[in-house]
Structure 1
Amino acid sequence: MGHYIEVESGVNVYAEDIGIGQPVVFIHGWPLNHKAFESQIGELAANGFRFIGIDLRGYGKSGKPWSGYDYDTAASDVKAVVDYLELEDFVLAGFSMGGPIAIRYLTKYGEEGIDKLLLMGAAAPSFTQREGFALNMKPKEVDQIIAQVKADRPAFLADFANMFFEQKKSPQFLRWFESLGLEAGAHSTVNSAISLRDEDLRDELAGISLPTAIFHGKKDQICAYGLAEELKKGIPNSVLVPFEKSGHGMNGDEPEKFNTEMIRFLKSSGVKTK
């Protein structure tokens, strides 16, 4: 079942809704959409969970307005979906750029109604290096990505697909993966990259008391493994699950391990730290 939810006047966000049971709200990464999690949908439904896959504004089937690509607005859009679907006792699951958006959701709206937090290859606490933070890309490297997107977005997405996975993927799989990025608005892709470059959530981790799992590929070329270690240090009630053979796309590189660890975490009886 699919829902189109008006998040502001004239802007609709799409959410895929499959299965029954405890909801798991997935927030995708840049510049993808909910289809990136297609290999998780069946596993979740078969294990008594309800998959809620949001296409962020600018991506997939959602509206593509000019503005609203900051994390605050993205979190607000997620809240609109949660409220519209009247979700309770749900798990918030953020992949890559969806990780910091999930964290910002907790900062803005608190933890009421949320059972657990799952961060997967998260672009947090900061995607770029800054004073006191020497991990991951330099801001000028993101500027170079933006220039590549503007010059030849299809060619950039082909290169990006090759960086995304550590294990060899079929040409057909890579074409499919590239197609997800092509469903995004070009301006959306650029504006979200600006947010990835500029947003900083280092001060937002300590307030998280939800049981949290941090999944991260040891060979991630997009969000360095060190980011996961920072998240583990910063979030009090967290566990770090390394994927030794994975790049950024863990669910493509180690699909069986990913699904097994995901279901294990979802079925675990986590307890809040406060």
Structure 2
Amino acid sequence: MDPSLRISLLGELAVTRNGTPVALPASRKARAVLGYLVATARPVRRERLCELFWDLPDDPRGSLRWALSKLRPAVDGTEEAHIVADRERVAFSGGATEVDLLAIRARLLDEPPFLPPEDLREMAAQLEQPLLDGLAQAGAEDFQLWLASEREDALLLRRNVLRRLALHPEIGRAEAVKWARRWKEQTPLEEDAARSLVQALAQTGREDEARQHESDFFAAAKAAGLSVSGPLMPEASVASGETAHHSRPVEARPRRLLRKQQIGFCRSSDGVRIAHASIGDGPPLVKAANWLNHLELDCNSPIWGPTFDAWAMDRRFIRYDERGNGLSDWDVKDITFEAFVRDLETVVDALGLERFPLLGISQGCAVSVAYAARHPERVSGLILVAGYATGWRIGASAEEQARREAVLTLTRHGWGTSNPAYRHIFSQTFMPDARPEDLEWFDEFQRLTVSPENAVRFQVAFGTIDVREDLPKIQVPTIVFHARDDERIALDQGRALAAGIPGAEFVVLDSKNHILLGHEPAWHACMNKAKAFLAHHNL
């Protein structure tokens, strides 16, 4: 253990030992390697490090060895080596080392009711600095994409801290205005941020300014096609005089549920770290992973947010990032259907769940079916949405297979670029009736959620799915939903899925969207029917 060592990833990479700065190598690549190893906090294959930092025809492994030789004197202690390497992998073994970004993330995930204001102020100041500042160009494109994704995660942490400061009961009124303003600057179309600022201004007697901000927010929300739940500053809050000055801005209940999600990690039998999250209280409902997931980015999204809100209102809603994307390990050898089923097994075992209903969406339906067939004693019911029993390589026409192969080629060459056109191929087929801003969000979400390499590997794995032999083994209540004009997975595939499961109910939804959106009638029909299904079977 080396509690004397501290590493700062926020701002310029810095290392101190017993409060004294440690000199780091002059090489930006070497420093970037250290930052990457510390931030990822897991062993990384040497080949992967070479791809990230030395995309050259000459000796990349030799360059990596040189970089590690320069880093060891800076971070290794007298009794413990922090740079741990063998012939295949390299890792930073932190022990008790304090890393600013990881420490902030851990404290926020603990979700105590209120962290001390002074701690939150320090976090806000730290998170204002760019992650690994000055090192964005130190590696190849994949490193740049990784760093962009990590900086986006750090931005989400900063928003979390600003929210806590704006709503903190021990923060004075004038200071609350400052933090609420910064929170809203970060999320200009988030209703809770706008409400916090409007109410904080009203509580300091700046009612005209508060009403102007309220008016501006309503106009911006309307222009973006967003609905607002109600007034940001109720008339009573101003008219009641002194009473209003003792109240604090209150977040909408669904957002409070999502912000209280508990994120944890477990390891599958092949050593892959899987991230999982629980939201809400009540009987459990487990959602199998689908394309694509990110436990921090999707929970408040325009695509998944309404669905997660609805389930978390009266359930303990559990979901996870399957291997290769989101907060789970990306650098994995096995991305196959069997691995996807193991990931689900790993999560429910780690959480100690004995019996529960499963929610499957898209390829998550096949994962749910396979799990239920193998573990009938654990699954009490199935809700399957937009699913299929066989992947695109099985039984598809030559034309369809050629189209899918063309998409694979586009993914290999364009997924990680700043041009969203490549990812837009998926967005438009997933949600042809989505609003432009929702498609734009999903385009960027996909880029931040998975690497180009894994995006290809996922598509290849989906193509070979075949759970037809598992369908007759399902002996629990099952309901299957499918959009009539789904442009991603044809209605006939959903019908075949339901027909193969004994006693399954099949519900056709009036939509074109593969992913149902909270503003469309089909989403409401699906949610109402699914909740009635669970209640009817006492699941």
Specify every segment of 5 or more residues in structure 1 that has no aligned partner in the other structure, as ranges: none
Cα distance in 2 for residues equivalent to 1:268 and 1:88: 21
Deviation at 1:17, TM superposition (A): 0.4
Deviation at 1:263, TM superposition (A): 1.5
Matched, 1:44 2:308: no
Cα distance in 1 for residues equivalent to 2:474 and 2:271: 33
What secondary structure, in the 3-state scheme, does the structure 2 residue paired with 1:215 have?
A: strand
Report which of the two has the higher share of strand: 1
What secondary structure, in the 3-state scheme, does the structure 2 residue paired with 1:255 have?
A: helix
How many residues are aligned here?
A: 265
1:126 is matched with 390
Q: Report the TM-score when normalising by structure 2.
A: 0.46
1:29 is matched with 290
Cα distance in 2 for residues equivalent to 1:30 and 1:261: 24
Deviation at 1:190, TM superposition (A): 1.1
User: For 1:124-175, what per-residue CA distance to the aligned partner results, in whole angstroms no more than 9, with x for missing partners?
Assistant: 2112264xx4589833332222111112114221221122124241x32112
Cα distance in 1 for residues equivalent to 2:526 and 2:453: 32
Identify which of structures 1 and 2 has the higher relative contact order when contacts are C-alpha pairs closer than 8 Å and 6+ apart: 1
Cα distance in 2 for residues equivalent to 1:110 and 1:138: 34
2:473 is matched with 207
1:95 is matched with 361
1:260 is matched with 528
Looking at CA atoms only, which structure, 1 or 2, has the larger radius of gyration? Answer: 2
Alignment counterpart, residue 138 of structure 1, candidates 374, 377, 400: 400
Matched, 1:222 2:488: yes
Residue type at the aligned position of 2:413: A
User: For 1:217-238, what per-residue CA distance to the aligned partner results, in whole angstroms no more than 9, with x for missing partners?
Assistant: 1111111110111012110121
1:187 is matched with 453
| Residues 65-104 of structure 1: pairs in structure 2 closer than 5 A | 65-104=331-370
C-alpha spacing 1:28/1:135, structure 2 compared with 1 (3 Å): farther
Cα distance in 1 for residues equivalent to 2:537 and 2:281: 19
Alignment counterpart, residue 537 of structure 2, candidates 266, 269, 273: 269
C-alpha spacing 1:128/1:9, structure 2 compared with 1 (3 Å): closer
Specify every segment of 5 or more residues in structure 2 that has no aligned partner in the other structure, as ranges: 1-261
User: For 1:43-96, what per-residue CA distance to the aligned partner results, in whole angstroms no more than 9, with x for missing partners?
Assistant: 2222x2111011111121111123222111111111110011011321111111
Cα distance in 2 for residues equivalent to 1:9 and 1:165: 35
Report which of the two has the higher share of helix: 2
Deviation at 1:9, TM superposition (A): 5.6
* Preserved CA contact (<8 Å) 1:135 1:226: no
| Residues 226-245 of structure 1: pairs in structure 2 closer than 5 A | 226-245=492-511
What secondary structure, in the 3-state scheme, does the structure 2 residue paired with 1:242 have?
A: strand
C-alpha spacing 1:9/1:126, structure 2 compared with 1 (3 Å): closer
Residue type at the aligned position of 2:454: S
* Preserved CA contact (<8 Å) 2:356 2:380: yes
2:43 is matched with none
Deviation at 1:185, TM superposition (A): 2.5
